[in-house]
Structures are given as structure tokens and as C-alpha cells.
Amino acid sequence: MYAIIRTGGKQSKVSEGDIIDVERIKKDGTVSFTPLLIVEKNGTVISDRKELAKATVTAEVLGESSGPKVDIFKYKAKTGYRRRAGHRQTYTQLKIKKIKKAAAKKPAKKDPAKAAATKKPAAEKASAKDASTKSTAAKQTTAAKKPAAKKAAAKKPKEGA
């Protein structure tokens, strides 16, 4: 099973036992992340936000290290313009301990007696459909009448012009 987590503005694919370097985290002990995606061993993908909100990826902080030095040199010819700078990113080393997904909910068993009691008889369903079609037909006829009345009022010339 593996998960995709986000840290330091970047995404990382992790599985249990992996050691990864991420941008500096100011924490000691254990750190937990909310995964963006989980893929199980059998190939099942979990990407639903509600399920992922309940899932966690737990990691242990092993230590800090520095990355390679990046030299920045700006130069423009014949002007005497030179600028030197450098940067060395600090990384935190993490060991992924556990990927815990939310417990799967078991669907509730349906009782056939309750299901039969909640169904409406066919006569009630038909009358409800007839009433809804009548109300929509009435709305359509009133909507058709309104624009015609506005058009007639617009055609009348204004007096005093």
C-alpha cells in the first residue's frame, strides 16, 4: 500500500518503511499527514475527500540535513555589474511508520418488512405525478403570457415626446 502526501509545497509517494527528505519541519518525535490519495495492495484507489480526511500517514522525524549549495551569480558585461549569492536548503528526514486508512463502513441490512411499509401505493404515485405536471403546465402558460404583455406595452408610443 502506498499514499501520496503533500508537504513543503510538494507531493511525495510514500509507503511504510520509506525514508524521505522533505523541506524543513519544525517538529520532533512524530508527524502526521493527511494523504491526497491512497492505493492499496490489491489496486483499489481511495480518492474520496471524506474518506481521506479520516486517513492519516504517520512518520517519525529522524533528523535534519542540508542540501547542496546553489550558487547564484548575476553578471552584465561592460557595466561592472556583479552579484553573488547562495542558498542551501535545510531538509528534515522522515521515516514513514504507518499508513492508516479510515475503517470501511458496512452497509446496513435492509429489513424487507420496513421496505414494503415505506413504499407508496401506485395510485398515490400517479396522482402525485398528475399534480406536478398540472402545476408545471400552469407555470408555462403564465410565463408565456407575461412577455406578450410587456411587448404590447413597449409598442405604445409615449405621449409628450
Q: Is pLDDT at 98 greater than 70 in this prediction?
A: yes
Q: Is 157 a domain residue? A: no
Pair (60, 87) in one structural domain: yes
Pair (119, 58) in one structural domain: no
Q: Is pLDDT at 3 greater than 70 in this prediction?
A: yes
Domain that holds residue 116: 112-152
Q: In sequence order, which residues have a C-beta less than 8 Å from that of residue 65 and are 6 or more positions away?
A: 21, 90, 91, 93
Q: Is pLDDT at 2 greater than 90 in this prediction?
A: yes
Q: Which residue has the higher pLDDT, 112 or 30?
A: 30
Pair (14, 71) in one structural domain: yes
How high does pLDDT run on average in the chain? 81
Q: Which residue has the higher pLDDT, 112 or 36?
A: 36
Q: What is the pLDDT of residues 121-132, one digit of tens each?
A: 555 555 555 555
Count of domains forming the chain: 2
Pair (120, 92) in one structural domain: no
- The edge-to-edge listing of strands for the beta sheet with 45-46 is 10-15, 2-7, 37-39, 45-46
d(CA 84, CA 69): 13
Pair (35, 81) in one structural domain: yes
- Write down the pLDDT at residue 31: 95
Section 104-116 average pLDDT: 61
Section 93-115 average pLDDT: 75
Q: Is pLDDT at 66 greater than 90 in this prediction?
A: yes
How much is the pTM? 0.57
Pair (31, 85) in one structural domain: yes
Q: Which of 68-72, 87-91, 151-155 has the lowest mean pLDDT?
A: 151-155
Q: Is 158 a domain residue? A: no
Q: Say if residue 10 is exposed, middle or buried (CB neighbours under 10 Å; 0-12, 13-18, 19+).
A: exposed
